[in-house]
């Protein structure tokens, strides 16, 4: 549509010019004594137009001639800038390709180009950012080459001057890379110091939190690692399953670091309520408390929410977790006073009645009955459970308990048969 309108306008101008020129009888007379020159008005217009075009062309030519030194200078600056950015790109690509010597050479070449441009004062580049990036690439290549002295020197040069707001991201990136280098060197102290030096907003980024978690684990700071892992899980830095596994492992590691009951209680109090309700964590805490000679009643108190959860949602528990719960409860109830153990007798019997096909619960019910001197009932439950038990340790313990009961009854045949079964396992 636009082309058609332009074509119509061109035709209109052509028609108007033809009508004007064809019917124009005017003349222009020039008097130049003693001569007189008569010219057609149309010719005069054409001559004026030609003179204007010639003058315009001459002025443009002179302007281009006088601008040649500036254009040459601009071309030189642009050529240097292209060489500078090409060297930076080459340094990054060589770094990715594992050619670290070439990467460092390219980064040093970029720094030389930047210094030349800065000395000339002709460049409009953000020299501070470019310089910091060049030093960072050179430091990265030196770190890969295990040249720590050169790496630290380039790191110092990259952070030597206070960076403006436009270059803050480069400085933050260099600082976080420095933390990564310290972690690669397993220098936990330096890594934590550099993490603490990060601005608050940068320190809460996922990458910084991941490095803080690694530094805390390398330094054996389990509590700090657990807090950092919680933040990462909150930010969804891991999948749900990976976050749960990590938090569970750190919580167990924190509990394992306690070497007396008081330390274990402090470690337990540092856990969140969600962590304390985790089956593996609670079982590990109770088992650890028993091993340290702590209060059995407290261990049973920790196990009660886990027991209730297992009865409420048995499908969420693996066979290994169910066996471990049975073993921890068995060992706790064997040494628990009657006042603390009696409620558990009722709980275990009720659970067995609700799930009569569960061999593990049947075994636990038999063991609890034996602990409370209900030997006949305990023997009956164990004899029914032992053929259906899949865990070798539980089955062996069941046969040993049956052998003990047979010894109390004076049944030599049953005693030897039970011991043979236990030995065969």
Q: What pLDDT is recorded for position 59?
A: 92
Q: What pLDDT is recorded for position 125?
A: 63
Q: Return the H-helix or E-strand segment holding 32.
A: strand 27-32
Q: Is 28 helix (H, G, I), strand (E, B) or coil?
A: strand
Biggest alpha carbon distance in the chain? 163
* pTM given for the model: 0.70
Fold classified for 347-425: 1.25.40
Q: What pLDDT is recorded for position 150?
A: 92
Name the nearest CA neighbour of 253 among 226, 233, 228, 274.
Answer: 226
Q: How far is C-alpha 289 from the geometric centre of its chain's CA atoms?
A: 35
Ranges of residues in the chain with a pLDDT under 50 are none
Q: What pLDDT is recorded for position 54?
A: 94
CB 258 within 8 A of CB 292: yes
Q: What pLDDT is recorded for position 359?
A: 85
Domain segments of the chain as ranges: 248-336, 347-425
Structure tokens at 275: 């962590």
């Amino acid at each position: 549509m636009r082309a058609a309108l332009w074509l119509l306008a061109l035709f209109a101008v052509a028609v108007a010019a033809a009508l004007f020129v064809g019917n124009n009888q005017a003349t222009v007379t020039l008097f130049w004594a003693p001569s007189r020159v008569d010219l057609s008005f149309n010719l005069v217009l054409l001559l004026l137009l030609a003179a204007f075009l010639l003058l315009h062309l001459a002025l443009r030519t002179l302007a281009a001639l006088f601008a040649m030194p500036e254009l040459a200078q601009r071309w030189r600056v642009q050529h240097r800038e292209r060489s500078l950015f090409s060297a930076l790109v080459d340094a990054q690509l060589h770094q990715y390709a594992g050619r670290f010597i070439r990467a460092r050479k390219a980064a040093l070449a970029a720094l030389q180009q930047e210094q030349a441009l800065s000395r000339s004062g002709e460049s409009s580049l953000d020299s501070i950012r470019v310089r910091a990036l060049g030093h960072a690439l050179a430091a990265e290549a030196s770190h890969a080459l295990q040249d720590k002295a050169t790496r630290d020197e380039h790191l110092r040069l990259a952070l030597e001057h206070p960076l403006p707001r436009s270059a803050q991201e480069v400085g933050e990136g260099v600082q976080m890379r420095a933390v990564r280098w310290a972690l690669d060197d397993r220098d936990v102290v330096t890594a934590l110091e550099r993490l603490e030096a990060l601005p608050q907003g940068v320190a809460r980024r996922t990458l910084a939190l991941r490095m803080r978690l690694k530094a805390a684990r390398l330094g054996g700071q389990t509590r700090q690692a657990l807090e950092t892992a919680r933040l990462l899980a909150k930010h969804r830095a891991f999948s749900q399953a990976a976050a749960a596994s990590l938090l569970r492992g750190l919580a167990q590691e924190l509990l394992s670091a306690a070497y007396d009951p008081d330390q274990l209680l402090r470690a337990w109090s540092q856990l969140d309520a969600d962590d304390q309700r985790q089956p593996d964590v609670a079982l590990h805490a109770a088992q650890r408390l028993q091993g340290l000679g702590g209060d059995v009643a407290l261990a049973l108190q920790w196990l009660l929410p886990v027991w209730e959860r297992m009865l409420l949602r048995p499908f969420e528990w693996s066979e290994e977790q169910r066996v471990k719960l049975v073993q921890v409860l068995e060992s706790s109830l064997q040494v628990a006073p009657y006042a603390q153990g009696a409620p558990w007798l009722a709980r275990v019997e009720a659970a067995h009645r609700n799930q009569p096909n569960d061999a593990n619960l049947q075994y636990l019910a038999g063991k609890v009955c034996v602990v409370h001197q209900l030997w006949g009932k305990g023997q009956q439950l164990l004899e029914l459970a032992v053929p259906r038990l899949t865990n070798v340790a539980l089955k062996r313990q069941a046969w040993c308990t049956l052998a003990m009961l047979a010894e109390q009854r004076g049944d030599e045949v049953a005693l030897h048969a039970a011991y043979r079964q236990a030995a065969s396992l």
